[in-house]
Amino acid sequence: MTAGFQIGILACKLVSAPSISGRQVTPTMSSESIKTSPVTPQLQVRRVAIDTYRENVAYLHRECEVYRAEGFQALSKVEIRANGKRILASLNVVDDDRIVSCQQLGLSEDAFAQLGVEEGHAIYINQAELATSIPALHRKIAGERLTQDDFRAIVKDIADHRYSKIELTAFVVACNQGQLDREEVYYLTEAMSSVGRKLDWREHPVVDKHCIGGIPGNRTSMLVVPIVAAHGMLCPKTSSRAITSPAGTADTMEVLAQVEPPFERLWDIVREHRACLAWGGTSELSPADDVLIAVERPLSIDSPGQMVASILSKKIAAGSTHLLLDIPVGPTAKVHNMPAAQQLRKLFEFVAGRLGLTLDVVITDGRQPVGNGIGPVLEARDVMRVLRNDPRAPSDLRQKALRLAGRMLEFDPDVRGGEGYAIARDILDSGRALAKMQAIIEAQGAKPFDPDAPALAPLSFDIAADRDAVVTSVDNLQLARIARLAGAPKVQGSGVDLLRKLGDPVAAGEVLYRVYAAYPADLEFARQAAQKQSGFQLGQAEDVPKLFVEF
């Protein structure tokens, strides 16, 4: 090895984190746990402003002496150390000095944030050891059934970023094609929930609500949480941002308040107000799930086993003891019919039972979007109108939220079965839910918002009915696509505002929905998609698809 470019050897020791004040923190690596031989640091870290979406990427110049001496290859896994910390990353080889010079090691946005040092800081790099779970991965690819220890090893390596995107894809596809049996789904869920931060609220029950997704505008969580918290139940709600949808709960809540408070602050908010509505990405709960989602979503893979493991691992890690699960059913929902919904329910119930989580599954109407708005500002408008008991509030969003909140309230041993709906309705009608929501918003950091004059994007166009008829079909997927093409969720005021719903009579020329966009290009993309396929079908009343609900 060329003098002046000696590479230190890392030996790290992860120690299980103790529970402190009812919370458990992620194991971290102290400087004492890193033992290195004396070295003279020669590479300096450079922040390469590229969003690689949950993948750590390092950039090394091809003419760098470290690259030549160590025999690195593009896409190989490397170990990077600085200031007592270490990360693993996939290596990209650079031929342009403007990206990184021969004396620098570049890091993508995610990798730079994880390492937590300033630009120019001394940095060490060496080849990473092969993930120990790779043989188990190969067996899964071959269609074999894996053991609990196999899944624990795989999940730990995934959470430690030891898998490349290619290996992650192979694992996701193998699990999807081979269809995990229910024991394997339990093994995967248990492994995912045990890696990373695990919360203990020292209270019972700790309740949560989750929908499997696929229904635009379905912002019931932002209504259920303040209702349940106003009743006095503990509901620490961490939610996701949109990946392929026009808005996630966190995106819509971000219109009203900050959603990324420091974890210690989030803990205090929950203790004081009995709830929060925050983004879960900063909580380090089931971190392997975040890595896997980055692969699953672009591939449009959402197999039942992986869905169950993803949802339940997050809830277990968050300290939930009771979960209400919403499975919408409809022609353009994730679940198309009642038999498939019942099968998915049984899988959720089996895994939840093995993990000691009390689960209540409800099958709901997924034939069309819930509420009127699709997109962060439009959905926030709908939520606040429901909380304010505004006559313009969408009745379907209000009713679904009340029914879900009622079921959650029945987790309270002092609430009799069947009484929850009336209690939830009283909390909403009395203004107590609005007061609780306002307290949560203020605690998280309020933003100015007027539901009577929401800050919608300035450009718009309408899609109108071409004849007198009845709305017989509303395509969730197409309307979500149109809203995203219009700019949602990145542009908060963009999206789709529904003026007609399933079963509504319409006259020729009446507006079905209005699309908002901030930029002419976005408006034109959305217009072309809507003109090609509006997402609405018109016909006779008897053509409206049958309703499947189980409240």
Active-site residue numbers? 302
| C-alpha span between 134 and 136 (Å, rounded) | 5
**E strands within 197-337?**
207-211, 235-239, 275-279, 322-329
**E strands within 375-509?**
459-464, 469-474, 495-498, 505-506
CB-side neighbour CA atoms (13 Å) of 73: 1
Closest CA to 62 of 90, 105, 102: 102
Does residue 259 contact residue 250 with C-beta atoms inside 8 Å? Answer: yes
- SS3 at position 159: helix
| The pair of three-digit structure tokens given for residue 518, joined into one six-digit string | 């901030």
Does residue 357 contact residue 322 with C-beta atoms inside 8 Å? Answer: yes
Backbone angles phi and psi of 7, in degrees to 5:
-110, 125
Closest CA to 256 of 458, 496, 442, 453: 442
- SS3 at position 506: strand
535: left (phi over 0), alpha (psi -120 to 50) or beta: left
Tally helices (H) and strands (E) across the chain.
18, 20
| C-alpha span between 131 and 125 (Å, rounded) | 17
21: left (phi over 0), alpha (psi -120 to 50) or beta: left
Cα-only R_g, the chain:
25
| The pair of three-digit structure tokens given for residue 185, joined into one six-digit string | 């789904």
User: Which residue, chain included where needed, has tokens 């899609």?
Assistant: 463
| The pair of three-digit structure tokens given for residue 303, joined into one six-digit string | 């197999």
| The pair of three-digit structure tokens given for residue 532, joined into one six-digit string | 């090609």
